[in-house]
Amino acid sequence: MASAAEQLAANINFSAFSKATELKKRLWFTLGALIIYRIGTYIPIPGIDPAALADIFDQQRGGILGMFDVFSGGALGRMTIFALNIMPYISASIIIQLLTTVSPHLEQLKKEGEQGRKKINQYTRYGTVVLTALQAYGIAAGLEGMTASGGQGVVLAGGMFFKASTVITLVGGTIFLMWLGEQITARGVGNGISLIIFAGIVAQLPSAIASTLELGRTGALNTLFIMFLIILVIGTITFIVFIERAQRRIVVQYPKRQVGQRMFGGESSHMPLKLNTAGVIPPIFASSLLLLPVTVASFSAQGGPEWLTTVTSLLGRGQPLYMAMYIGGIVFFCFFYTAIVFNPADTADNLKKYGGFIPGIRPGKRTAEYLDYVLTRLTVVGVGYLALVCLLPEILMSQYAVPFYFGGTSLLIVVSVTMDTVSQIQSHLLAHQYEGLIKKSKLRGRNK
């Protein structure tokens, strides 16, 4: 079976792609949904002076607002209906997953299969509405107190009407993106939520390249440094691809068993454990939890109390406190999400149920302990890899005037989502070719 799959994968070409009608429909749907998302990032919320807002963002381009603007695809800088992007949904998902580990009710729902999953998704949507409303109100209140360098206010006409319209608009935008991401996952190709973040980052790349070249033309950046930056980006992408494909293969042996006159089993297989089991989830989760409260604080700090301004400055880009909290979030979510994705005890029970065992390890509890030991060591290496890659933008931004888009976090998201999407496209093509082979075999059988 493995050799047949490899042979089919090798035979995948453009002719096979042209015949895969279902795959083409999914790709067109995904592309259309992402285009709708990009159009929404240019529709501003009512009551905002765009010139004054652009002036304030130019002053804080290298700060925390500039970083969040990258994940929102520029929607925050333009204060559009998608300014909060999909981050509140991610934050609500984190909270629900954390509560699942401590709440018996949620834990029971998780074990109930499809119905339980639908109920948990419903709770996540309710949490998204609450979080988005709170963050939208904080942003609306902060916008009323913001003034540009010329003294003009960002809000044309403040008051409760402006706050209410801003909250309704931002909540509606985030809920629409949540629905759009679910539709992409169900009817398109790839993970919808990840693709929305991916589209926002990729859309900013042309302007980032242009601004970097402009810095080189004006002499703000050395030509040798720009060449070093290009080599660094290529090296980082290569490193990310290598680590994301790296895996530890644990040998699993199945005993021989006789059924009637025939002997089955006796073959050995392997259990692949990825070096970075959590994937791109930890940086996204850590960013969402850290960026949204800090962004609201950044807006509220304009004309607000002095202590809030101090907190905002301590949590600025490149500051030790911000970097420590960011790396701490990555470490926590890396171990937490790995524990959710892979359960050593359940895996050991399934191996024991089907007669499989790891050579030299007793089935049952000892197998679970061995798998947990191996997975913990792999996760430690994965944490080091994610921390190293995600620290690159902070170092570059704090030392040099380099756009964040060239940083490791952005590259990690772009490369990981691209690899996952390409893998799903290949799976659809393989399934299409298997269907073609089955149809041909049926036709030959009828002719005979």
**C-alpha to C-alpha distance for 313 and 320, rounded to whole angstroms:** 11
**C-alpha to C-alpha distance for 389 and 299, rounded to whole angstroms:** 29
* C-beta separation of 165 from 137 below 8 A: no
**C-alpha to C-alpha distance for 386 and 405, rounded to whole angstroms:** 17
Q: What is the model's pTM?
A: 0.78
Query: Which pLDDT value is given to residue 170?
Result: 93
Query: Which pLDDT value is given to residue 203?
Result: 85
| Coil/strand/helix, residue 256 | strand
Exposure of 382 by Cβ count < 10 A (0-12 exposed, 13-18 middle, 19+ buried)? buried
Q: Which residues pair with 155 in a beta bridge?
A: 48
Q: Which of 239, 278, 229 is nearest to 407 (CA)?
A: 229
* C-beta separation of 208 from 406 below 8 A: yes
Query: Which pLDDT value is given to residue 30?
Result: 93
Q: Which helix (H) or strand (E) holds 259?
A: strand 256-259
Cα-to-chain-centroid distance, residue 429: 25
Q: Which of 102, 34, 47 is nearest to 79 (CA)?
A: 47
- For residue 357, give the amino acid letter: F
The residue ranges of DSSP E strands in 260-359, in sequence order, are 262-265, 268-274
* C-beta separation of 89 from 126 below 8 A: no
Query: Which pLDDT value is given to residue 34?
Result: 93
Residues 259-316 pLDDT 10s:
566 655 567 788 888 888 888 888 878 877 776 666 656 555 555 566 666 666 666 6
* Joined tokens for residue 141: 């209140």
Query: Which pLDDT value is given to residue 128?
Result: 92
Q: Which of 291, 260, 258, 234 is nearest to 90 (CA)?
A: 291
Q: Which helix (H) or strand (E) holds 35?
A: helix 21-40
Residues 86-106 pLDDT 10s:
888 888 888 888 888 788 888
**C-alpha to C-alpha distance for 91 and 251, rounded to whole angstroms:** 38
* Joined tokens for residue 6: 């490899």
Query: Which pLDDT value is given to residue 344?
Result: 87
Q: Directed axis angle between helix 365-399 and helix 281-300, to 10°? A: 40
Tell which phi-psi region holds residue 361, choosing left (phi > 0), alpha (psi between -120 and 50) or beta: beta
Question: Could you say which residues of the chain have pLDDT below 70?
Answer: 1-18, 59-67, 256-266, 291-318, 393-394, 396-408, 432-448
Q: What angle do CA 185, 188, 191 make, to 5 degrees?
A: 35
| Coil/strand/helix, residue 258 | strand
The widest CA-to-CA distance across the chain, in whole angstroms, is 91
Q: Which of 273, 262, 315 is nearest to 293 (CA)?
A: 315
For the chain, domains (ranges, CATH) are 2-447 (1.10.3370.10)
* C-beta separation of 128 from 88 below 8 A: yes
| Coil/strand/helix, residue 247 | strand
Query: Which pLDDT value is given to residue 266?
Result: 61
- For residue 168, give the amino acid letter: I
Query: Which pLDDT value is given to residue 165?
Result: 92
* C-beta separation of 337 from 278 below 8 A: yes
